[in-house]
Structure 1
Amino acid sequence: KQWALRRERSRYDAERARRQYDAVEPARTLEKAWEDKLRLVNEIEQEYRRWRAREPLVLQAQDHAALQELAENLPAIWHSETTQPEDRKRILRFIVQEVILDQKKIRGQVAIRILWQTGATSEHQIQRRLQSYDRDYGELELVRE
């Protein structure tokens, strides 16, 4: 609440200085006052962003319950016909922080390491499709025809 008031007050002061600036012949003092107020708005906004980054997010009980329900229904939401690819991308970006692929760890397999937003990690292995560069010349002739 305090941050909202400080931010609102600084924006109000900057807007008031702009109106004063516009109301009279541009004077050096009014211009400087306006610039000072704009600089203060910028400083308070930056300070607010730093504060938000340090402060943990506090969820209300009903928000926590809604998130819990959403997490429990995630497979149904993911596989729903109404879920668009853009929605699936958003969901992934929300829950996955990073994916690391390693093709050299085990020959013929790809090691996948997923770092979740919670800080947990999971590791998986999938069989890599090995493609041969040697082609049957009969197939090449068919393609050429």
Structure 2
Amino acid sequence: MGKGSGGEAIPLERVIAIADFRAELRRFQRHSERVEARHGLTPQRHLLLLMVKGAADGSERLSVGAVADRLQLGVNTTTELINRAEESGLVRRERSDEDARVVYLRLTEEGERRLAGVMVELDATREQLEEALLGLTRSFRRTAAR
């Protein structure tokens, strides 16, 4: 097998596991895109809704800056995405009660409905992706012990 950047041999089992995982991840992404389209969402808008609803603190709201960080997008790109989602009736902005400079996003009823529809349809596929991730983890553990 080939050598890594440090000159160490890369176990074939690990390469196969990574390839299998990446193939499963790509299948999940393609399936997600079809499901998102059926619910009138682009992949970017789906991720926006998911990040806002799934705020780590459980508040179901996220600041514009936190959205940019979680999606790994620039401020301008994030603002455009939010503007389009707001125009489509998927999210609404609300000012923080504690700090008027902070603007939070929250899903509208329509945003909630569409996100729920996508999530229900993707549940079965998530199980396949989880299995692929478990296979990758097992392979890494076996090959790391060598």
What's the TM-score, normalizing by structure 2?
A: 0.31
Bigger helix fraction: 2
Which fold has the larger relative contact order, with Cα–Cα distance below 8 Å and residues 6 or more apart in sequence? 2
What's the TM-score, normalizing by structure 1?
A: 0.32
> Which structure has the bigger radius of gyration?
1
Bigger strand fraction: 1
